[in-house]
């Protein structure tokens, strides 16, 4: 990574994502433990997952379940087990933020923003962020 100049400011944490083997089982457990309202589950074919966002106060919890044993989430669970997958920071003007980070040499998974479950998204590579997968989100 080259010199970091102007920071990519964030407004708040949009969501934290947990990779799970069984989204329905996990939703039922969290509903029983924490009284959360279970939301709709969406299939996201290009990411090979089923996912849901659960509103908790000012932020959200995302649960993702692999739909393909060869997909990145299935491989993640196979290597690391179920658990924290990424944290998402909300930003204004995601295209500008991605351009800024790329110009500073930050290693990006997404070189351009794309549509995701929570809005327009782009991922920074964990090797650029002390081992944490970070997603930028513009709702």
d(CA 95, CA 49): 25
pLDDT at 8: 87
In a domain, 1, yes or no: no
In a domain, 117, yes or no: yes
Parent domain of 23: 12-138
The count of other CB atoms within 10 Å of the CB of residue 6 is 9
pLDDT at 37: 86
In a domain, 7, yes or no: no
In a domain, 6, yes or no: no
In a domain, 27, yes or no: yes
Mean pLDDT of 12-21: 97
pLDDT tens for 78-136 read 999 999 999 999 999 999 999 999 999 999 999 999 999 999 999 999 999 999 999 99
pLDDT at 1: 45
H or E element that contains 20? none
Under 8 Å between Cβ of 92 and 139: no
Q: What is the CATH number of the domain that holds 123?
A: 3.10.180.10
In a domain, 29, yes or no: yes
pLDDT at 7: 87
| Average pLDDT score, the chain | 94
In a domain, 4, yes or no: no
**pTM score of the predicted model:** 0.92
Q: 């933020």: which residue's tokens?
A: 97
Give alpha helix (H) positions in the chain.
Answer: 23-34, 72-80, 94-103
Strands (E), the chain: 12-19, 42-44, 49-56, 59-66, 83-90, 114-116, 119-124, 134-138
For the chain, how many structural domains are there in total?
1
In a domain, 5, yes or no: no
pLDDT over 90 percentage in the chain: 88
pLDDT at 3: 62
């Amino acid at each position: 990574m080259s010199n970091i100049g102007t920071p990519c400011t964030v407004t708040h944490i949009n969501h934290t994502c947990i990779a799970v083997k069984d989204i329905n089982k996990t939703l039922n457990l969290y509903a029983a433990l924490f009284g959360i309202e279970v939301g709709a589950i969406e299939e996201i074919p290009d990411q090979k997952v089923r996912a849901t966002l659960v509103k908790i106060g000012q932020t959200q919890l995302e649960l993702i379940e692999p739909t393909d044993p060869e997909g990145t989430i299935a491989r993640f669970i196979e290597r690391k087990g179920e658990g924290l997958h990424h944290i998402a920071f909300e930003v204004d003007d995601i295209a500008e933020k991605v351009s800024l980070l790329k110009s500073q040499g930050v290693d990006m998974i997404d070189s351009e923003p794309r549509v995701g479950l929570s809005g327009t998204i782009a991922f920074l590579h964990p090797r650029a962020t002390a081992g944490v997968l970070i997603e930028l989100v513009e709702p």
